[in-house]
């Protein structure tokens, strides 16, 4: 069985929902994961912000506006009065529920419940649409099988067991529709898999049912070899190794959520990125296969801070790095890039919430300098160390750009460079020219 995920852009209007319905009704049994209609989760976050700030009027204004939009979507989506009525009831009940949170204390717990409504509404709408078209479609309630443990990590054993129970309840269904993003946590409360987490839902389900393929459908033709918003001449990459895709997703190619790779990789289930707007385009295939000797793509992640710790005592001091890393760990701040020399170490972080405390602690071990407003440029491909010339090409492309750090050899698939955020555009264009268009 295949698992197909359609993002917010792919279910962003009644027309788009109809197109998705057509795409998925080819007679094959499948599980379909849906995001909220595009913009909805952002609106729900905005509503929550007003409620945190004890401004129910601000919240109600957005709720009312959003509800009007949904009523229009419903009227456009269904043909028959019967289903228009069903759709209106779905909208009414979810929006009244959201409204009920404007009257009481609002905490993180309530916010999670509000955020879950987007996916609950979109799946109910598409499920009814399929039924109106005569398709045997059922809803699999994600809140009944998708669960995280005490460390906020998905619990694959629980998910597999409960998902199979749900599937067996409907043995003759053609299409199972389910919500991306939402789950319950270890305490049974409504929670989510973080923003953009519907991709993660799809791969967790793929692994749980041992799917033949996981398809991530979005509004662009696969993963591109550079950021199409910045570089003019980009082209889709047709084949990527799981690790290449993971590096790209983590370092800025927003088309796929980075967490989505790992479950598929462990279960060895290929992930295919496909385009809702051009469904016959080949997209990008992500699997355990490497294309020998090829540089595949470049991505960039901004908002990076570099921290250098220099210590004259480091030379003979074993345990120095451990002490440095422990400081970051104690503030739950993960490190992206590391470069070492005999007298110092540079690391980068993207979460600066505890920067001041981290710097204070680091100062016990040496002289600390900070560079903010930095950007990681990540080049992926078959960068096995025995391959010749690839590092040279990457460095050549950066010959007119000041480079703060270079990291190579951490995997067989990547070189990362740290530059100023202001140089990002020039760096991406130059890399595109040297690596793909020369
Ligand atoms: P979906 O709703 O399908 O999950 P998202 O809005 O989460 O879509 O993210 C996919 C979008 O990210 C695409 O519309 C694409 O335009 C954009 N995008 C951002 N960065 C990149 C990149 N480096 N390569 C390709 N697409 C990108
Ligand atoms: N709707 C959620 C979000 O916007 C999850 C997703 O779309 O993947 O983040
Ligand atoms: Mg997404």
CA-CA distance, 325 to 152, in Å (whole number)?
22
pLDDT at position 84, please? 97
Superfamily of domain 295-437: VC0802-like (3.30.2130.10)
Class of domain 2-219: alpha beta
**Ligand number, closest to the Cα atom of 200:** 2
- Count of alpha carbons within 13 Å of 386, Cβ hemisphere only? 1
> Which ligand 1 atom is at minimum distance from the Cα of 257?
7
Mean pLDDT, to the nearest integer, of 406-410? 94
Distance 12 CA to ligand 2 centre (A): 12
pLDDT at position 342, please? 82
CA-nearest residue, atom 20 of ligand 1: 254
Distance 318 CA to ligand 2 centre (A): 44
> Which ligand 2 atom is at minimum distance from the Cα of 199?
8
Task: Please tell me if the CB atom of residue 38 comes closer than 6 angstroms to any atom of ligand 1.
Answer: yes
CA-CA distance, 418 to 71, in Å (whole number)?
48
Distance 282 CA to ligand 1 centre (A): 17
Mean pLDDT, to the nearest integer, of 15-38? 97
Structure tokens at 45: 């976050």
pLDDT at position 316, please? 56
pLDDT at position 343, please? 85
CA-nearest residue, atom 18 of ligand 1: 254
CA-nearest residue, atom 4 of ligand 1: 7
Say if residue 314's pLDDT is above 70: no
Say if residue 50's pLDDT is above 60: yes
User: Which of 4, 8, 192, 217 best tests ligand 2's pocket when mutated (most atoms within 8 Å of CB)?
Assistant: 8
Question: Which pLDDT band holds residue 220 (cuts at 50, 70, 90)?
Answer: confident
Sign of the CA dihedral 391, 394, 399, 403?
Answer: negative
Output the average pLDDT for the chain.
Answer: 95
> Which ligand 2 atom is at minimum distance from the Cα of 119?
1
Q: Where are the domains of the chain?
A: 2-219, 295-437
pLDDT at position 104, please? 86
Distance 255 CA to ligand 1 centre (A): 4
pLDDT at position 315, please? 57
User: Which of 180, 220, 237 best tests ligand 1's pocket when mutated (most atoms within 8 Å of CB)?
Assistant: 220
Mean pLDDT, to the nearest integer, of 350-376? 96
> Which ligand 2 atom is at minimum distance from the Cα of 8?
7
Distance 388 CA to ligand 3 centre (A): 36
């Amino acid at each position: 069985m295949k698992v197909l995920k359609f993002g917010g852009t792919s279910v962003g209007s009644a027309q788009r929902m109809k197109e998705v319905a057509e795409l998925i009704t080819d007679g094959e049994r499948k599980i379909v994961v849906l995001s909220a209609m595009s913009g909805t989760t952002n609106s729900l976050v905005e509503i929550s912000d007003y409620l945190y700030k004890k401004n129910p009027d601000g919240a109600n204004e957005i709720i009312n506006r959003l509800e009007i939009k949904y009523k229009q979507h419903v009227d456009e989506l269904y043909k028959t009065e019967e289903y228009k009525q069903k759709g209106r009831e779905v909208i009414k009940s979810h929006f009244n529920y959201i409204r009920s949170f404007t009257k009481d204390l609002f905490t993180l717990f309530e916010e999670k419940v509000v955020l879950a409504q987007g996916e609950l509404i979109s799946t109910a709408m598409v499920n009814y649409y399929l039924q109106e078209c005569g398709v045997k479609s059922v809803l699999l309630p994600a809140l009944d099988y998708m669960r995280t443990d005490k460390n906020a990590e998905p619990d694959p054993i629980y998910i597999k067991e409960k998902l199979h129970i749900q599937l067996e309840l409907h043995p003759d269904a053609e299409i199972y529709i389910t919500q991306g993003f939402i789950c319950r946590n270890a305490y049974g409360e409504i929670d989510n898999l973080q923003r953009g987490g519907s991709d993660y839902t799809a791969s967790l389900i793929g692994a749980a049912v041992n799917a033949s393929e996981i398809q991530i459908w979005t509004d662009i033709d696969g993963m591109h070899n550079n950021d199409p918003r910045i570089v003019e001449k980009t082209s889709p990459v047709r084949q990527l190794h799981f690790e290449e895709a993971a590096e790209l997703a983590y370092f800025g190619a927003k088309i796929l959520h980075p967490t989505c790779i790992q479950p598929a990789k462990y279960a060895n289930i290929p992930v295919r990125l496909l385009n809702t707007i051009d469904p016959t385009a080949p997209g990008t295939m992500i699997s355990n296969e490497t294309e020998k000797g090829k540089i595949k793509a470049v991505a960039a992640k901004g908002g990076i801070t570099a921290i250098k710790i220099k210590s004259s005592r480091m030379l003979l001091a074993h345990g120095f790095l451990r002490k440095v890393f422990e400081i970051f760990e104690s503030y739950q701040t993960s490190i992206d890039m590391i470069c070492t020399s005999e007298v110092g170490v540079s690391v980068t972080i993207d979460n600066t919430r505890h920067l001041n405390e981290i710097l204070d602690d680091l100062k016990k071990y040496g002289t600390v300098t900070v560079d903010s407003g930095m950007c990681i440029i990540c080049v992926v491909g078959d960068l096995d160390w025995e391959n010749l010339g690839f590092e040279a090409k990457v460095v050549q492309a950066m010959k007119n750009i000041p480079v703060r750090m270079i990291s190579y050899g951490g995997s067989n698939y990547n070189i990362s460079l740290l530059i100023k955020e202001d140089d990002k555009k020039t760096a991406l264009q130059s890399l595109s020219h040297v690596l793909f268009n020369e």
